[in-house]
Amino acid sequence: MSNNCDVIKDKLNNYLVTVEMSSEDKVLRNMLGIVNAITRTNYYQPHKHIFSFKFDSSKVLDLPKPVPFAEAFVYSRNFEAVHLRGGPVSRGGLRWSDRAEDYRFEVLGLMKAQMTKNSVIVPVGSKGGFYVHFTEEGLTRDEYMEKVVECYKNFLRGLLDITDNIIDGKVVYPKEVIIYDKEDPYLVVAADKGTASFSDYANSVAREYNYWLDDAFASGGSAGYDHKKMAITSKGAWISVTNHFKTLGLDVQKDPITVVGIGDMSGDVFGNGMLRSETIKLVAAFNHKHIFIDPTPDPLSSFNERLRLFNLKGSNWSDYDSKLISKGGKVFERSSKLIKLSPEIKKLLDINDNEMSPEELIKAILKADVDLLWNGGIGTYIKAKTENNLEIGDKANDNLRCNGEEIRAKVIAEGGNVGVSQRGRVEYAKKGGRINADFIDNSAGVDCSDHEVNIKIALSSAVTSGKITLEERNKLLNDMTKQVEELVLLDNYKQTEAITIMQLSPTLTVNILSQFIDILEEEKVLERENEFLPSAEELNRRAISGEVLTRPELCLLLSYSKRSAYHELLNSTFSHDKYFDAYLIDYFPEMMQKKFYNEILSHPLKHEIIKTVTINKIINQLGGPLISIVKREIGAPLCDIIRSYTIICEIFDLDDIWETISKLPTNIDYNVKIDMFTEITKLMRRGISWFIKNLKHPINISETIEEFRVPAQNLRKTVGTLLVGETKIRFEEKLNYYTTSGVEESFAATIATFDNLISVFDIIYVTKQTSGNNKEIAKAYFAISDMFSLDWLRKACYRQLNDSFWRRLGIQSLKDDLYDKQ
């Protein structure tokens, strides 16, 4: 077959030499490139009325970026479709597109966003879309939808025609398909615009093909997790809201907050979101039909009315009890020519006009001076002033769109997708607004689906072996709903906390972040222009002027750091260490951990899950930029850094201490918490360096923990009493700072000792070499430090200019040398 292909290619290339016009030559070579990029097709399968082709996208010339890992094109008389994947293990929704001219461009943008969003879960991002070739003309609504559903199912049939299966644990190629790529058995889909209720149709096709994932093929079906019923997406986004207001000293479950919103109570994200707190004062909202304004709502009665509407099937704002709307408020039709404004509405929105068009009123709502703007709808409503509507690509909302600098809400929460453009987010954040990004705020949905898929995969072997029946599995899935929710929301909490730490940490300077962006570009993980990240010149200007990176920019860096780390670990074997089996077990709900222990340990995606969990953990705590710096400073691969990080966390119970800081009450200033988190990360960083430099490789995690844990813990309890001179004074100053800030004394003392805890490993090492006593060696160790002012010298190193990699490397080498000499 290969020789035949080579002969044909030679003939075509010889012909291309004879082509005289450059434009014709370019078109023909591009067409040849597309043919050469085909890796599979169902064309040779008999009795097919749909045709599907799989491409190695990297071989297609001049594709717009980002270039997918692979893509499929499916065509029939009634529809055409594309499916773009970011990697071999990827997931994302399939949408029913209405963009005949550029649906691939639409899907590419969605895949790019999904890649960023999926950094918290096992698979990378993918996205698909189909466009139907017929209209509703001459059909009833039911007949039309029946044809659309059949197109959707045929789209999936086209994909499964060229997808590998797994039978009895072995990968099986599809019949009558010539394979030009590697084994590729993982295909998972999800709901999207227009396909929210199609999961059962997808799973029926999977069963038709006896596909190994069965009803894990499409999450959220009749035997899956109902996201609206769980309110999982809105609960995840509400964690972002809670975090934003916590930094303002407000508790959104107790303190009243004024809110404007996009959506209505029948929607999942908006409806569930507006039921997250009884202290919400929803003063205005709009959807595609109505504008709702309630200038001075009573929080409790308005909450109860929103709850009634949420439970009313197909409700709209027009169903809101007008008797419960405060003076001057009303529900208006968006179809109205003009809307008369009451004095109360004019005061609420800070406008002088007596009447406005519906579009003008909506823009005034978006610009309202409120606590929170909650986006639970579809569309992009906020851009940057430097962007035009054509760049946004959401024509339906062109007349409503505002600029980020015009938004006066203190906080924006993006429960919906792309409600704000990235440049719009940055513009809003630069003027003091608090915002993350949609791929952070609404990631709970994909996280929940990923848990569902992996749970079903784990349980499938138990069903096959007869350990449980399918009905018992379905009951277990339902019984575990609350535990799945807790696992997902914990991911949300840790990720938003990580962004806040990145934003407020004194150690993450603009120079360090700038160099991290350079590293990501060198690794070809990131193209800053495509993600609207600042240029090197702009970052230099910010560093000089004392400006920082905004939260939306940090959100991107957090996500890309996880993607970069996962890419580096693709071929790493660190996940084979039995120590990490506990990470795998803890990924699953507690209700299935014991009974299905063996099924979990034999999970087909075991190593992918362990790597994802580990990467999320280390980057949420240490931060991608610091890990990248440590890698370069000590010249160690990421897998060794992970092993050392795991050891130091276990020896000093750092995860428990981290959680205690996270749960400190809101009356303790958030900057105090940041200082405490910084002390932990400094200890982690030093510990990583010490273990990599002083232990035999590959580092055995369990043996090292067993060797150092007990003596290190004993020294931790007494180290505060062994300090002398300047070191003791600094310890007492830190202890006083924490206790006067409201931190309980014993816990404050624990954190205050961290600056000296790294020394315990040197002390233990010397004790073993000399057969001495840990306590006596420790006394001598700290006495030597005081005698030669070594601690003062190390602190002096911190005050040196460290605006480049080589300066930081020199300073770090000097500090390490001082520790070694001590």
Which residues are catalytic, by number?
Answer: 127
Q: Take residue 110 and report the two structure tokens written for it.
A: 């969605």
Q: In whole angstroms, give the CA distance from residue 668 to residue 741.
A: 6
Q: In whole angstroms, give the CA distance from residue 324 to residue 300.
A: 11
Q: In whole angstroms, give the CA distance from residue 448 to residue 485.
A: 7
Q: Take residue 480 and report the two structure tokens written for it.
A: 């575990």
**Residue 262 CB: number of other CB atoms within 10 A?**
26
Where b means 16+ CB within 10 Å and e means fewer, 15-51 reads: eeeeeeeeeeeeeeeeebebebbbbbbbeeeeeeebb
CB of 528 closer than 8 Å to CB of 517: yes
Q: Which is it for the CA torsion 174, 180, 183, 187, positive or negative?
A: negative
CB of 83 closer than 8 Å to CB of 72: yes
**Whole-number Cα distances in Å, 289 to 264, 331, 373, 416:** 10, 10, 19, 18
How many CA atoms within 13 Å lie on the side-chain side of 695? 23
Q: Take residue 181 and report the two structure tokens written for it.
A: 């790529």
Phi, psi (5° rounding) for residue 89? Answer: -110, 100
List, in order, residues 6 or more apart from 515 with CB less than 8 Å away: 625, 629, 804, 805
List, in order, residues 6 or more apart from 773 with CB less than 8 Å away: 767
CB of 202 closer than 8 Å to CB of 192: no
Q: Take residue 346 and report the two structure tokens written for it.
A: 């004019």
Q: In whole angstroms, give the CA distance from residue 63 to residue 701.
A: 45
CB of 69 closer than 8 Å to CB of 57: yes
Q: Take residue 746 and report the two structure tokens written for it.
A: 């014993």
Q: In whole angstroms, give the CA distance from residue 710 to residue 707.
A: 8
Select from 390, 394, 445, 386 the least CA-distant residue to 262: 394
List, in order, residues 6 or more apart from 520 with CB less than 8 Å away: 526, 557, 560, 561, 564
Rg (CA), the chain: 29
User: Alpha helix locations (H) across 623-669?
Assistant: 624-634, 638-651, 654-662
Strand partners, 355: 340
CB of 33 closer than 8 Å to CB of 59: yes
Select from 351, 376, 267, 269 the least CA-distant residue to 313: 267
**Residue 102 CB: number of other CB atoms within 10 A?**
12
**Residue 468 CB: number of other CB atoms within 10 A?**
17
Q: In whole angstroms, give the CA distance from residue 717 to residue 102.
A: 65
Cβ neighbourhood burial of 800 (10 Å; 0-12, 13-18, 19+): exposed
Q: In whole angstroms, give the CA distance from residue 822 to residue 778.
A: 11
Q: In whole angstroms, give the CA distance from residue 217 to residue 61.
A: 32
